[in-house]
Amino acid sequence: MIQAVTVVPDGDGYLLGWRGGPDFVEVPAVGGRIVLWLQEGLSVAECTARAGEMVGEPVDVEDFLHDLTEAGILSDEEPPGDTPPFGHRLGRILFGPAGLTAQAALVVIGVVLLVVDPALRPDYHDGVPFTIPLASLLSITVVSAVLTVIHEMAHKLAAAQYGVYGRISFGRRLFFIVAQTDVTGLWVLPRRRRAVPLVAGILIDAAIVAILVILQEFVGPDPIMRVAVFINVGAIVAQTAVYMRTDFYALFLVLTNSKNLWALKGAVFRRLIRRAGRNDLDLIGAATPRELFWARAYLLLYVPGVAIAFSYYFGFTLRATLRVIGLAVSAIPDGGWSAVGGVVALLVILVPMGFGLTGAARSGIAAIRRAAHSGLRAQTEMPI
């Protein structure tokens, strides 16, 4: 259905997509013009003639349309209806000019209070607000879940104001289990409009921290509020870790106009350590100088970033976690409900931690194997 295809100018070419699908392709200027002509009602023959005049040589429009169908851009499915009015309106309220101004004002006030009053600043002890391990664990779990939903809904609502749908799911970043919102549909928007939906979660996290800090300044310290501030400050810090495909990673893609940064970064790194395979070399060969520049720049962030992530995990997150584990273990010999609470606390902590650590270990082993395999292929196919 050609009318459902979105055509967005991007550099010297166009990005073609489908608002109801996850696939987008970059085409030269003539490709974008062909789709626009078809949407205006011109026939394939007329588009073929115009395209030939535009580029100075024959253009196979039918083959071009076939390629778009194979790529999932053209579809016989009906496009979805408009974004639900409530989501669109709420997105405009929260992330339109007035909403962004209000959030910015709150954050400024919150930062000033944190600077002026050290007692309001989060501390790792806030990760264990109660001496009863199960109470601490449940409070952290519930508050984390609520804040996570708010964070992901912020992405959805900020995208909804432009009529783009988002899908929430769960995934992993290194050894962290995370929630994530798929807003691939933002590719249908011009670059400048993609930024706010991508950082909307961070914006709402910062606004919530500011609100809680302001409340505590007037009503006094509260353990649950301090837990929420502790969690959201940690979440904001974690989002700056562009080496883990965080919100700021997505923003980095927009700012640098990169579309295949993750794969190209890996190819550049493997070539650097002489483990590049044929696919890596083909990817590097097809990249533009600008794309290679940003891949190298990103690599300079990625390598130390992973080291920082490990330092943060083992020096901060793990310390708070081990304290809760210690409290849970100490409660088991007491018997009764204390023992039950201790066991439940251990399960709630250790199960997701186990998934995260084992997943990270599997990814690391797979990366090592791919590097070794790529190296053998490179030596066999292109000996030097």
Q: Is residue 226 part of a domain?
A: yes
Look at the chain and report how many structural domains it folds into: 2
Query: For residue 380, what pLDDT is reported?
Result: 27
Dist CA 84 CA 163 (whole Å): 9
Query: For residue 78, what pLDDT is reported?
Result: 56
Dist CA 46 CA 336 (whole Å): 82
| End-of-domain residue from the set 38, 70, 102 | 70
| End-of-domain residue from the set 37, 70, 103 | 70
Query: For residue 111, what pLDDT is reported?
Result: 94
> Around Cβ 302, how many Cβ atoms within 10 Å?
20
Q: Is residue 295 part of a domain?
A: yes
Is the same domain home to 111 and 217?
A: yes
Query: For residue 73, what pLDDT is reported?
Result: 76
Is the same domain home to 227 and 258?
A: yes
Spans of the chain, pLDDT less than 70: 1, 19-23, 75-86, 133, 169-178, 312-313, 315-316, 337, 352-357, 359-384
Contacts of 55 (CB under 8 A, 6+ apart): 30
Is the same domain home to 16 and 152?
A: no
> Around Cβ 117, how many Cβ atoms within 10 Å?
12
Bridge-partner residues for 28, per DSSP?
A: 13
Is the same domain home to 139 and 198?
A: yes
Q: What is residue 205's three-state secondary structure?
A: helix
Dist CA 254 CA 217 (whole Å): 38
Q: Is residue 315 part of a domain?
A: yes
Query: For residue 67, what pLDDT is reported?
Result: 85
Dist CA 322 CA 228 (whole Å): 20
Find the length of the chain: 384
Domain around 240: 85-378
Q: What's 7's DSSP letter?
A: E
Dist CA 338 CA 144 (whole Å): 23
Single-letter residue type at 308: I
